[in-house]
Amino acid sequence: MAKDAVRVLVTGAAGQIGYALVPMIARGVMLGPDQPVILHMLDIPPAAEALNGVKMELIDAAFPLLKGVVATTDVVEACTDVNIVVMVGGFPRKEGMERKDVMSKNVSIYKAQASALEQYAAKDCKVLVVANPANTNALVLKEFAPSIPEKNITCLTRLDHNRALGQISERLNVEVSNVKNVIIWGNHSSTQYPDVNHATVTISTGEKSVRELVADDQWLNGEFIITVQQRGAAIIKARKLSSALSAASAACDHIHDWVLGTPKGTWVSMGVYSDGSYGIPAGLIYSFPVTCANGQWSIVQDLKIDEFSRAKMDATANELIEEKSLAHSCLN
């Protein structure tokens, strides 16, 4: 029997990530090839015409899984009955703007959209925040949508995770699908810590540790980390636009694995509400290694953390503590 359609909301859908993301969702990349979807797309009034253009293209693409499209600038209409929410819309940092000004704009957007989700979305909706500052936007959303379970509010660090896999695959000249269990700890910002200490590569004789195969700790502890941390800036420099197709693809991976599960023996990175694991203060949205089953994520426990990692994990946590207090000062 055919499955019921799932309603997926994409905010900021007229933007560049939105334009790459909605066809992926409509093709089944996010929820599977047998899962019909109804797309809800929200943007702001100045983008209404462009949003309608995206709707026209979705219709023209005749996607068999796409059972309906709601394109709107009305947040209530956008949020009504949605099951999956991907929040891409936000206020970008413009030249000359202070960090606090950008935070303040986004805090008010996320507060308002949290209230609409709280009232109108499906009670068990799963939320992924993509827009920056992603971890702190997700935290604001969590605080203003108290009836959505805290485990259902996450942010995107899968792009950073995938970037780390890509760098290792390039360095070792192995297929990216044979590399697994890198970790992104912390904030989706340049303080994030890409960690390969538990990562492995499948080769003809079995699984081998990335550290052993790369055999160059100086590269792994230096250039590799910086490349992953700075990849977003490198893409902007090259494209004059920020990453879009890779961000959209990572958003699909994040929801796909959350809903359908991670393969046995494999973990992924997700920004989730900290429960104090690994000494990370509870009450932050922090990127951890997680496995997913039955629509629930769990933080991978008991990984050995060396001194180098500890310092980097704490530094990115400290940045999130600062962002949290900045966000709270914007709310007052």
Ligand X SMILES: NC(=O)c1ccc[n+]([C@@H]2O[C@H](COP(=O)([O-])OP(=O)(O)OC[C@H]3O[C@@H](n4cnc5c(N)ncnc54)[C@H](O)[C@@H]3O)[C@@H](O)[C@H]2O)c1
Contact positions toward ligand X, by CB under 6 A? 11-12, 14-18, 42-44, 47, 88-92, 109, 130-132, 134, 156, 159, 188, 242-244, 247
99 is in an annotated binding site: yes
Task: Report in angstroms how near the CB of residue 194 gets to ligand X at its nearest.
Answer: 13
Task: Report in angstroms how near the CB of residue 135 gets to ligand X at its nearest.
Answer: 9
Task: Report in angstroms how near the CB of residue 151 gets to ligand X at its nearest.
Answer: 19
In terms of DSSP H, where are the helices of the chain?
A: 16-26, 48-60, 75-79, 99-120, 134-144, 158-172, 210-214, 217-221, 223-229, 231-239, 245-260, 307-331
Task: Report in angstroms how near the CB of residue 165 gets to ligand X at its nearest.
Answer: 14
131 is in an annotated binding site: yes
Give the whole-angstrom CA distance, residue 319 versus residue 329. Answer: 15
Which lies closer to ligand X via its Cβ, residue 127 or residue 156?
A: 156
CA 206 to each of CA 115, 140, 202, 203: distance values in angstroms, whole numbers, following the listed order: 50, 44, 6, 5
136, 285 Cβ separation under 8 angstroms: yes
Task: Report in angstroms how near the CB of residue 9 gets to ligand X at its nearest.
Answer: 10
Catalytic residue among 161, 188, 254, 256: 188
18 is in an annotated binding site: yes
> How many other CB atoms are found less than 10 A from the CB of residue 234?
11
> How many other CB atoms are found less than 10 A from the CB of residue 29?
18
Which lies closer to ligand X via its Cβ, residue 91 or residue 224?
A: 91
232 is in an annotated binding site: no
Number of helices followed by number of strands (H, E) in the chain? 12, 14
- 40 noted as active-site residue: no
Task: Report in angstroms how near the CB of residue 105 gets to ligand X at its nearest.
Answer: 8
Which lies closer to ligand X via its Cβ, residue 14 or residue 225?
A: 14
Which lies closer to ligand X via its Cβ, residue 3 or residue 100?
A: 100
293 is in an annotated binding site: no
12 is in an annotated binding site: yes
What tokens appear for 300 in the block?
């991978």
Could you tell me which residues come within 8 angstroms of residue 163 by beta carbon, excluding any fewer than 6 positions away? 194, 228, 231, 246
284, 317 Cβ separation under 8 angstroms: yes
144, 111 Cβ separation under 8 angstroms: yes
Which lies closer to ligand X via its Cβ, residue 6 or residue 129?
A: 129
Q: Which residue type does 155 have? A: C
311 is in an annotated binding site: no
* Residue whose beta carbon is closest to ligand X: 15
Give the whole-angstrom CA distance, residue 110 versus residue 123. Answer: 18
Which lies closer to ligand X via its Cβ, residue 228 or residue 292?
A: 228
* Three-class DSSP labels, 229-272: HCHHHHHHHHHCCCCCHHHHHHHHHHHHHHHHCCCCCCCEEEEE
Could you tell me which residues come within 8 angstroms of residue 209 by beta carbon, excluding any fewer than 6 positions away? 199, 200
255 is in an annotated binding site: no
Catalytic annotation, residues: 188
Binding site members for substrate: 93, 99, 132, 163
Binding site members for NAD(+): 12-18, 43, 106, 130-132
Binding site members: 12-18, 43, 93, 99, 106, 130-132, 163
